[in-house]
């Protein structure tokens, strides 16, 4: 774990999983432990947001790029703010794919989230074909450039980044600690070329098949500041062990 100004963060992304009974189990499991050296949050499906107690820091998995109006099925950032959310996952590869969210739409959503005073967790990551072709850094640069172009580098003072290689999501095929570190260092260098202070303070999470058994090794990398956890965040004990790995 880093010994610098960045505080570790572990975020559970339940995706479209879980049920009401998991909320109670998760709350009682996590309340037994002092996780004072790190931050953690849960991003459940939006209908469950109001059912958590105040001990849980909440995030949501998506918001609309619009403020309000005729957008059936969408949720606005002011609504999730009213329900106590602090974080908003934005640009997850599943939304980019299922909902055709372009880099430009993702950037507009980041703007809405920042304007509301919430923290975007901006996901970037390459498909396997891009890695095989040796184009990872160019691909990530394009994803990051869209946000810098709209909002400027200063916006990154309030953005959490999550590197989620698509080939590692839900596949059990985790990036090795060295692969994760290589990309995280590249992302930090990308930021540093534009503003070294912002680069030093930006929390960069790794996501993709993180489990209790591999979290420690991943989080020990210099530029890996925590994790964005899918499948393992549905198991309270597993999620707790990942939080403990970051709590050092």
User: Of these, 59, 75, 230, 240, which contacts ligand 13P (CB under 6 A)?
Assistant: 230
| Residue closer to ligand 13P, measured from CB, 207 or 212 | 207
With 0-12 / 13-18 / 19 or more C-beta atoms within 10 angstroms meaning exposed / middle / buried, residue 223 is buried
| Residue closer to ligand 13P, measured from CB, 198 or 224 | 224
CB atoms within 10 A of CB 189: 12
Distance in Å, CB of 164 to ligand 13P, minimum: 5
- Among 94, 101, 126, 164, which one carries the catalytic annotation? 164
Task: Give the per-residue SS3 of 92-156.
Answer: CHHHHHHCCCCHHHHHHHHHHHHHCCCEEEEEECCCHHHHHCCCHHHHHHHHHHHHHHHHCHHHH
| Residue closer to ligand 13P, measured from CB, 44 or 231 | 231
Binding string, residues 72-101; x marks residues near ligand 13P by CB under 6 A: --------------------x---------
Q: Judged by CB under 6 A, does residue 170 bind ligand 13P?
A: yes
Region from 18-26, 46-54, 64-72, 230-238 binding ligand 13P, contact rule CB under 6 A = 230-238
| Residue closer to ligand 13P, measured from CB, 116 or 218 | 218
Distance CA 205, CA 46 (A): 22
Distance in Å, CB of 141 to ligand 13P, minimum: 21
Contacting residues for 156 by C-beta, under 8 A, at least 6 apart: 147, 148, 191, 195, 198, 202
> How far apart, in Å, are the Cα atoms of 27 and each of 33, 53, 135, 201?
11, 8, 41, 29
Q: Judged by CB under 6 A, does residue 207 bind ligand 13P?
A: yes
Q: Judged by CB under 6 A, does residue 228 bind ligand 13P?
A: yes
**Which residue do the tokens 């580098």 mark?**
153
Please indicate whether residue 92 is annotated as part of the active site.
Answer: yes
- As beta bridge partners, residue 81 has none
CB atoms within 10 A of CB 21: 8
Count, residues in the chain? 248
Residue with smallest beta-carbon separation from ligand 13P: 230
Return the closest-CA partner of residue 204 out of 152, 144, 145: 144
Token pair for 78: 């002011």
| Residue closer to ligand 13P, measured from CB, 62 or 76 | 62
Please indicate whether residue 182 is annotated as part of the active site.
Answer: no
Binding string, residues 12-31; x marks residues near ligand 13P by CB under 6 A: -x------------------
| Residues with catalytic function | 92, 164
Residues contributing to the site for ligand 13P (CB under 6 A): 13, 92, 164, 169-170, 207-210, 228-232
């Amino acid at each position: 774990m880093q010994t610098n100004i960045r505080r570790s963060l572990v975020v559970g992304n339940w995706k479209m999983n879980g049920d009401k009974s998991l909320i109670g189990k998760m709350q009682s499991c996590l309340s037994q432990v002092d996780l004072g050296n790190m931050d953690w949050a849960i991003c459940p499906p939006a209908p469950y947001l109001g059912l958590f107690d105040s001990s849980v820091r909440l995030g949501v998995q998506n918001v609309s790029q619009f403020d309000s109006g005729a957008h059936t099925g969408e949720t606005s950032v002011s609504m999730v703010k009213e329900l106590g959310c602090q974080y908003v996952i934005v640009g997850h590869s599943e939304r980019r794919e299922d909902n055709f969210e372009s880099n430009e739409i993702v950037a507009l959503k980041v703007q809405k989230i920042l304007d509301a005073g919430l923290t975007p967790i901006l996901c970037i990551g390459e498909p396997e074909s891009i890695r095989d072709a040796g184009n990872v850094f160019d691909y990530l640069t394009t994803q990051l450039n869209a946000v810098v172009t709209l909002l400027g580098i200063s916006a990154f003072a309030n953005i959490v980044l999550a590197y989620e290689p698509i080939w590692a999501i839900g596949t059990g095929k985790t990036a090795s600690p060295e692969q994760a570190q290589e990309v995280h260092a590249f992302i930090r260098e990308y930021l540093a070329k534009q503003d070294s202070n912002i680069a030093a303070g930006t929390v960069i999470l790794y996501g993709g098949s993180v489990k209790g058994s591999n979290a420690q090794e991943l989080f020990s990398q210099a530029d890996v500041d925590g994790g964005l956890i899918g499948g393992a965040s549905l198991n309270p004990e597993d999620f707790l062990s990942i939080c403990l790995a970051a709590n050092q």
